[in-house]
């Protein structure tokens, strides 16, 4: 009996191995995309924090020394409301402390807190105001 030259099909084992490899590759790609999306979102929030803090610190630099107080820059909260759920987008707190030694000046701390997904990020900015 002569050997047949007809093409043979894919065995069950070969199909299972190929499907497993395809699944692993797809999972790796999805994981990489998810990570890069989260990293880009975090960078965007950090850029927004820097821009808002720079705006406040430039205002502080422009106003007279006597007007720089904690009351002048109240706590600012921005939230998202979706039905009954309220989510913090960001919070900005400015604390001003007057120091008289060795030179009279005010220390200005600007604390900026924001949420990215389920994690909360925090950044502190600092400036000095002299009379």
**How much is the pLDDT for 110?**
92
**How much is the pLDDT for 49?**
85
| pLDDT higher than threshold 70 for residue 2 | no
| pLDDT higher than threshold 90 for residue 3 | no
Q: What is the pLDDT of residues 43-80, one digit of tens each?
A: 888 888 888 889 988 988 899 988 888 888 888 888 87
The domain spans of the chain are: 12-129
* pTM for the structure as a whole: 0.68
DSSP 61-94: HHS-GGG-STTTS--EEEEEEETTEEEEEEEEEE
HSE-up of residue 42 (Cα within 13 Å, Cβ side)? 13
Name the pLDDT band for 38 (thresholds 50, 70, 90). Answer: confident
The reply to whether omega before 90 is within 30° of 0 (cis) is no
């Amino acid at each position: 009996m002569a050997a047949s030259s007809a093409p043979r099909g894919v065995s069950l084992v070969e199909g299972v191995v190929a499907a497993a490899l395809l699944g692993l590759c797809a999972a790796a790609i999805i994981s990489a995309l998810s990570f890069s999306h989260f990293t880009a979102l975090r960078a965007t929030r950090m850029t927004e924090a820097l821009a808002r803090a720079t705006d406040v610190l430039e205002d502080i630099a422009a106003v007279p020394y006597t007007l720089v107080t904690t009351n002048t820059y109240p706590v600012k909260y921005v939230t998202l409301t979706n039905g009954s759920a309220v989510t913090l987008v960001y919070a900005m707190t400015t604390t001003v402390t007057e120091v008289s030694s060795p030179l009279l000046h005010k220390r200005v701390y600007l604390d900026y807190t924001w949420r990215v997904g389920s994690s909360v990020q925090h950044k502190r900015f600092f400036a000095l105001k002299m009379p």
